[in-house]
Structure 1
């Protein structure tokens, strides 16, 4: 239940701090006194979008804070779901900063408006004249039926299945789109892949082949230079090796004369060893070197293939060609196996669709079962409220379509008069009849939901006399199991409250402010007498007010 409400710097409210109690709480006040301001401030707590124009002093922060006693309402799982600290006395706070930014808190933890709305929907139901018009809306009518049918869990399961179903359908559409595009490219991609596969690509091959080509293509020139080099190294008279050997022999004798000669000797010896190795390798190259026109043609052909492929794919290495081949292989694979993926996805859709149909049927059956009970209760309450001839006809038809709340189409028909034709609510019911019907529905819902608090904003519009007495009795009955607020202009309803607050305006320091005051027993007599007879209270109005209160 709502224990306390604080509003600072909002519309005509400078600083309001009020505590509330269980039972039926009445709020009265002249038109324009600020009852709508009170509801507007409370709606911020429930996640409504903030509007800087509602801030009284734009240079200061606007704060609205409400305290709720939620110990009895099994809301711990909801707090856990939204990663919030659970407190039996939970505080919801909303701040509008001078910059226009808005902040929201639950038990001092910053939250987004979605979390505030989700929790707010479980704490308080503000009924407005706008909500009365919702009676004619299919979604609201389904909500009423589902509350009585206890469909919350089934609807939650259905919503999760529907989410999966829509996601799978989207994925299937994407696969079909890919299939269309890939099939167009399949032949070309397969051709490109085959071309690269036939080239038998080997990493590093291009550099190796280019080196081999240069060798085979210049055999005679290489052989000539190798022979000449061989002679220069090995000639018995003027060869480098012969001469260096002679020098080595000379320095072998000089090495005994000092370290400097020994050092030169060692370097000559090292050079001679290296030169002999070079000579041996040159001889090996000479033995290996021979003209091979066939191999030259093979190397030239392979190089031509590789150069054509690198040019075609705008790359410079075989390694890049190998990467392209792997990408093409994946595309070809995807194209050839896409059909199986589509079939697999369709099978999964069929499976989820089957579960959806079963869940929708379960929801439908529970709705159908509860409808006679709902009609009976509605007609009984409306008879008490002065509509003895009111009749309902509620038809629910199971379809093949998947709506957000099941697969049903709903017809909620009403007839206010004996022998009258059944018609849609928006065509068959007047404003006063809709108000009474909404109260009847809220009265029924209060038995099936664990909503802590409900606030009626002028639900008595269009009614008077004995009907207003009956409406007040119904709200009194509701207040035995929940906290009920009602904003009213009718003295018959105001007199039934356990607690009575008055909204009024007063001028403070040349500034008009909205105030809210709890009325004492004497104050209530005066307020109800004024509601009965205006500001010039007669003795009979006071007596009537006391009679109503008693």
Structure 2
């Protein structure tokens, strides 16, 4: 419930602080006194977009702050979903800065307008002529029926499975599209894969083949160079090993004279060992080396295959070709497996569809069972509100597909006159009739669910005195389980309130300001008397006012 409201620097309000109580709160005032300003300020708290033109003094900050007691509203999950700290006394503040920028806070935490609207609609319902049009909206009509049918949990379960059902359908479409694309590419991918598989590629083989090709292609020249190298190493007259052996012999004699000679001797010995090893390697190479035209042809052919594949796939290494081969293999296998995946997906969809049908049927049965009760209650309340011949036909028809709230299509058909034709609400009910129907629905809903604070904005427009008295009684009954505000011009309704506020204008320092004042019992008598007979309150008007209040 709304417990406190502070408005600063908004429209004709300089600064306003007011506290509210439970029960039925009446707000009255002459036309143009500023009741719409009060509603405008509350709308900002509920997340309406701000307008700098509504600021009284645009050199100062505009602030609207509302405190709500939400202990009974079960809103912890909403706070958690919006990542907000839950407080049983929740403060919502809206600021409009001189720059025109707007800021919003919930319990001093900055929030965006979406979060403000999500929470706001759970706290305060401002019922205006515009909201009466909700009656003709399918979603609102379903909300009414489902509230009475206690379909909340069934709808939550249904919605969860419907989301999964839609995801599976999207995934199936993607798989089928993928299959169509894959089938177009399958032949080509299979051809490319076979080409790579036939090449029998091995990582690192390109460098090995290139080296082998160079050797086989230049075998005569290599033989010649190796033979010369062999001669240079072991020729008796000029061979390096023979000369180095003689040098070693000479320094072996000198090594005993000085460490310097001994050091050179060791180095010569090391060099000789290394040259002996080189000689052995050269001999091995000579023995292994032989011309092999067939092998040269094989190597050249394999190199040509690899070169062609590198060019075809625009890569530079065999390793990259192997990666392409693996990728093509995966694509081919995946294409071959798509039928299985699609079949599994179709089966999963059929299973979920069956579950959805069951849940939709439960929702439908609950709705069907409660419709007679809703129809009876509506017609009974409307009879007391001056519509004795009002009749409803609420029709549920099976839909062709799964909808967001089940598998039903709904029609609220209405006839205001005896023997009249039933037609859609928006075509058969006047504005005044829609207001009374909405009041009846809100009254019924208040018995089945915890409604937010409701503020009726002149719902009694165009209603006679006796009917307004009945409307007031209904609002009184509603206020026993929830906080109800009503802005009214009718004394019969004003007299039913537990608390009475008056909106009025006054001039302060030649500046017109809107004020909101809680009336004392005597002031309330005068206010209702003026509503009955104008500003010149007679004794009979006073007496009538007292009678209404009693």
Taking structure 2 as the reference length, the TM-score comes to: 0.96
Note the alpha carbon deviations across 1:252-299, whole angstroms, 9 max, x for none. Answer: 122223222222222211111111111000000000001111111111
How far apart are 1:338 and its partner, in Å?
A: 1.5
The whole-number CA distance in structure 1 between the counterparts of 2:11 and 2:211 is 88
Distance apart, 1:81 and its partner CA: 4.0
Is 1:14 aligned to residue 18 of structure 2? no
RMSD (Å) for aligned C-alpha atoms: 1.7
Quick check: 527-536 or 490-499, which moved more? 527-536
Deviations 1:180-207 (A, max 9, x none): 1111111111111111111111111000
CA drift of 1:453 comes to 1.6
Q: Which residue of 2 aligns with 1:44?
A: 44
Aligned to 1:302: 302
Aligned mates of 1:51, 1:330 — CA distance in 2: 59
Deviation (angstroms), 1:349: 1.7
Instruction: Describe the SS at the equivalent of 1:155.
Output: helix
Distance 1:513 1:318 in 2: 86
Q: Is the 8 A contact 1:202 1:318 kept in 2?
A: yes
Alignment match, 1:157: 157
SS of residue in 2 equivalent to 1:438:
helix
1:336-347 matches, within 5 Å, as 336-347=336-347
1:112 alignment partner in structure 2: 112
Classify the secondary structure of the residue corresponding to 2:480. Answer: coil
The match for 2:318 is 318
Provide the residue aligned with 1:519 in structure 2.
519
* 75-84 vs 137-146, which moves further: 75-84
Looking at structure 2, the residues matched to 16 and 351 of structure 1 have their Cα atoms a distance apart, in angstroms, of 60
> 1:215-234 counterparts in 2 under 5 A?
215-234=215-234
Task: Report matched runs for 1:467-506 at 5 Å.
Answer: 467-506=467-506
Superposed displacement of residue 14, structure 1: 2.3
Matches within 5 A, 1:284-299: 284-299=284-299
Deviation at 1:124, TM superposition (A): 2.2
1:49-98 per-residue CA deviation (whole Å, 9 max, x = no partner) reads 33333333334333222212222333334434444333222222223334
Equivalence for 1:281: 281
- CA deviations over 1:107-126 (Å, ceiling 9, x no partner): 22333333333332332222
Question: How many residues matched?
Answer: 550
More moved, 85-94 vs 453-462: 85-94
Q: Give the stretch that moved more between structures: 419-428 or 207-216.
A: 419-428
Unmatched 5+ stretches in structure 2: none
Higher alpha-carbon deviation: 319-328 or 251-260 = 251-260
Counterpart CA distance in 1 for 2:248 and 2:138 is 112
The residue correspondences of 1:273-422 to structure 2 (distance < 5 A) are 273-422=273-422
Question: Structure 1 residues 11 and 172 mapped into 2: Cα distance closer, same or farther (>3 Å)?
Answer: farther
Instruction: State the 1:455 CA deviation.
Output: 1.0
Aligned: 1:262 with 2:242: no
The whole-number CA distance in structure 1 between the counterparts of 2:133 and 2:80 is 35
Displacement after TM superposition at 1:99 (Å): 4.0
Q: How far, CA to CA, are the matches of 1:464 and 1:304 in structure 2?
A: 101
TM-score normalised by the chain length of structure 1:
0.96
1:405 Cα offset (Å): 1.4
Structure 1 residue ranges without an equivalent (≥5): none
Q: Deviations over 1:119-162 (max 9, x none)?
A: 32332222111111111121111111111111111112222222
Distance 1:470 1:405, change over 3 A: same
Alignment of 1:34-113 (within 5 A): 34-113=34-113
Q: How far apart, CA to CA, are the structure 2 residues paired with 1:356 and 1:49? A: 39
| Within-5 A mapping of 1:135-284 | 135-284=135-284
**Deviation of the 1:488 alpha carbon:** 0.7
Structure 1 Cα separation of the partners of residues 200 and 49 of structure 2: 67
DSSP 3-state at the match of 2:206: helix
Structure 2 SS opposite 1:300: helix
Tell me the alpha carbon deviations over residues 442-497 of structure 1, each in whole angstroms, 9 at most, x when there is no partner. 11111011124211111101212100111111111111111110011111111111
Q: Which moved more, 1:344-353 or 1:298-307?
A: 344-353
